[in-house]
Amino acid sequence: MPRCAVCGRDVNAARIAYIRGGIFVCDDCFPQYYVKEICRLVQRRLKGENPIACIYCKYRKICDEHISRTLKSLA
């Protein structure tokens, strides 16, 4: 049984949300993984831009929290 790359739990095939190479990410961890590792717009938002595509993103709330924490840690 594969292990989630984020939380380390065993994940059955029905609960795998993302597979790439040897990386498996479960449904529970995928939103955080997507925001931190996959989304290319996060870097633009950290620079102060507000891309239009972010309006329609279903992970916007998680992204906002990640950006807030990142900016606070840099200040």
Phi, psi (rounded to 5 degrees) for 27: -60, -40
Phi, psi (rounded to 5 degrees) for 15: -105, 10
Average pLDDT over residues 23-37: 95
What are the tens digits of pLDDT across the range 35-59?
Answer: 999 999 999 999 999 999 999 999 9
Given a cut of 80, is residue 75 above it in pLDDT? no
Model pLDDT, residue 57: 95
Among 39, 17, 59, smallest CA distance to 5 is for 17
